[in-house]
Structure 1
Amino acid sequence: MTRRSRSRPWILSAPALLLFLVLLLVPLAMTFILSFHSFSFYGGITPTFSLENYIEVLSDGYFYEIFGRTFAIALATTLICAAIGLPQAYFLSRMHPFWRSVMLLVVLGPLLISVVVRTLGWAILLGNKGVINDALRDLGLITSPIRMMYTSGGIVLALVHVMVPFMILAIWAALQRTDPATESAAESLGARPWTIFRRIVLPQAMPGILSGSLIVFSLSASAFATPAILGGRRVKVVSTTVYDEFLNTLNWPLGAAIAMLLLVSVLAIMVGWNRLVERRFAGVFE
């Protein structure tokens, strides 16, 4: 292979790499540098190198509560999306091509609508005077409204609606590479439906569940619009805390430090989960 042929892939990918560098890596580097600056209400941002912002976050139980709530919401969203996405992706992979195309359009349809619009729709449904509470009150099932807005449960419900297409597509892509004849062979050998699902379908779908879980968890942990609208000031997560630090208190260095800690935490969880599943994948379902 000549030197020109070896360098050709790099030359062809140079525009995309340059765009990636400018739009992602450069802002991340600037945010990382900003997190070490100091801030005072009278002097503003001082370009110094200090760990005081990280020390403040890591030594305050208030921020531990916010991070714990954020990851709990992301984990609950991921588990519910996996429980919904696996059977739906399985049936999707076994459908006739025409109906599969129709169902793919149904699955992808919500992605064509803005997250803000979908979240506002959930606010109309979950409010104290929303559609759900009014319906339950008209049916005589409740006398006072059930508080669903400004709760972690409401945020999880809306995030599941936003994130479940990513899980379905990831699992469906994994099941597309499997051979349906293996299930028929297992059934002909006397395997029960639960055994077929546990020993054949689930291991084959596990790569899709893993990739879908990583996508859903990372997007849920960093989501802003849904927690901001449905959580308000009562249920604060890391993304809304960063927003408050940047635009309300104007403490950009502290907000940058919180953002960097969120990034590192999500990356650590994703890498750890990936290694754990890859290490135990071979023997879990035997």
Structure 2
Amino acid sequence: MTAPRLTPTLLVGPGALLFLALVVLPLVLTFILSFHAFDHTAGVKNEFTLGHYWAVISDDYYLNIFWRTLRLALLTTVICALIGAPEAYILSRMRDPWRSIFLLVVLGPLLVSVVVRAFGWSMLLGGNGLVNQAIQALGFGPVKILYTETAIVIALVHVMLPFMVIPVWTALQKLDPTVEAAAWTLGASRFTTLRRVVLPQVTMGVLSGSLIVFGLSASSFAIPGLLGGRRLKMAATLVYDEYMHELNWPLGAAIAIIVLLANLLIMLSYNRVVEARARRTLG
């Protein structure tokens, strides 16, 4: 009688242990490290302090970086929604083999490393890149794009767009095409059908995709590090600098914990909105 009861535990056990070892334990150690004192001559001290957290939340330098991270992540999410939702709708209306081909085009960039794509954008957006060459060919002067927030947003949108398209496309797959045909038969225009029939179905996919895109954008490291330069920092690059350049591990741990808690708060609040929307839409 006990063996069937132990079966779920035995099946879940290896995965749970792996999760504890690779996710929970490092977070706990990082949390503990953030309360250690630090001295530039002696290094990390075995002394308890809250000074690192106070230094972060009371310094405009760190607050500006957090605000930049939040602003760019939100802007990336909005742009991905504006581009990804129509793209997913067009994709859902295609027929094979074009649907499979364009779906591969959407998912293809995920097969390439983010670092490689970031280097590609740095060459395109540089002073002598193809983008500036095209601008100069139109009769305008060169534009500084690389090492600006614009470059970060462009690259983030390129990287995160598939994470918006797929949830919206999945939501549209559940929509019966005959419902649209019924709306047209009853006299509704295509715009009204799109607004009253299709859009409520797309909304759930957009909300789910936005949750993924925002979380990944706010924690992105490679793109801000390569396209933002040394002066234009985001939260992930700030943590890297404290760990690797300043060697102030407790301060870097405190920044990482604050960023993690802020992301969790925003994403959990947003998830509540998604769940409330789902209950109203689906009953």
TM norm structure 1? 0.93
Residue in structure 1 matching 2:210, options 209, 213, 216: 213
1:1-286 pair list within 5 angstroms: 3-137=2-136, 139-143=137-141, 145-279=142-276
Aligned residue for 1:223, secondary structure, equals coil
1:140–1:85 distance in 2 versus 1, CA, 3 Å: closer
Deviations 1:178-219 (A, max 9, x none): 211111111111122222222221211222111111111010
One-letter identity of the residue aligned with 1:256:
A
Unmatched runs of 5 consecutive residues or more in structure 1:
none
Q: How many residues align?
A: 281
One-letter identity of the residue aligned with 2:74:
L
1:4–1:92 distance in 2 versus 1, CA, 3 Å: farther
Aligned residue for 1:48, secondary structure, equals strand
Please state how far the C-alpha of 1:276 moved relative to its aligned partner. Answer: 2.7
1:68–1:102 distance in 2 versus 1, CA, 3 Å: same
Q: Distance in 1 between matches of 2:189 and 2:48?
A: 64
1:6–1:41 distance in 2 versus 1, CA, 3 Å: same
Deviations 1:4-58 (A, max 9, x none): 4343223212222221111111111111111111111012101222211111111
1:206–1:254 distance in 2 versus 1, CA, 3 Å: same
Q: Distance in 1 between matches of 2:16 and 2:279?
A: 35
One-letter identity of the residue aligned with 1:230:
L
1:172–1:257 distance in 2 versus 1, CA, 3 Å: same
Is the CA contact 2:204–2:277 (under 8 Å) kept in the aligned structure 1? no
**Higher deviation after alignment, 230-239 or 46-55:** 46-55
Please state how far the C-alpha of 1:231 moved relative to its aligned partner. Answer: 0.2
Aligned residue for 2:174, secondary structure, equals coil
Deviations 1:76-116 (A, max 9, x none): 11111111111111122222232222111111110111101
One-letter identity of the residue aligned with 1:141:
G
Q: Distance in 1 between matches of 2:6 and 2:38?
A: 46
Is the CA contact 2:91–2:169 (under 8 Å) kept in the aligned structure 1? yes
Please state how far the C-alpha of 1:3 moved relative to its aligned partner. Answer: 4.8
Q: Distance in 1 between matches of 2:209 and 2:57?
A: 30
One-letter identity of the residue aligned with 2:144:
R
Please state how far the C-alpha of 1:283 moved relative to its aligned partner. Answer: 6.6
Please state how far the C-alpha of 1:257 moved relative to its aligned partner. Answer: 0.6
Q: Distance in 2 between matches of 1:73 and 1:282?
A: 30
**Higher deviation after alignment, 190-199 or 162-171:** 190-199
RMSD of aligned residue pairs (Cα, Å): 1.6
1:194–1:48 distance in 2 versus 1, CA, 3 Å: farther
Q: Distance in 2 between matches of 1:201 and 1:10?
A: 43
Unmatched runs of 5 consecutive residues or more in structure 2:
none
Q: Distance in 2 between matches of 1:103 and 1:75?
A: 27
One-letter identity of the residue aligned with 1:259:
A
Deviations 1:139-195 (A, max 9, x none): 25213x201011111100000000001111111112112211111111111122222
Please state how far the C-alpha of 1:282 moved relative to its aligned partner. Answer: 6.5
Q: Distance in 2 between matches of 1:161 and 1:283?
A: 32
Q: Distance in 2 between matches of 1:278 and 1:13?
A: 27
Is the CA contact 2:168–2:204 (under 8 Å) kept in the aligned structure 1? yes
Q: Distance in 1 between matches of 2:132 and 2:31?
A: 45
One-letter identity of the residue aligned with 1:165:
P
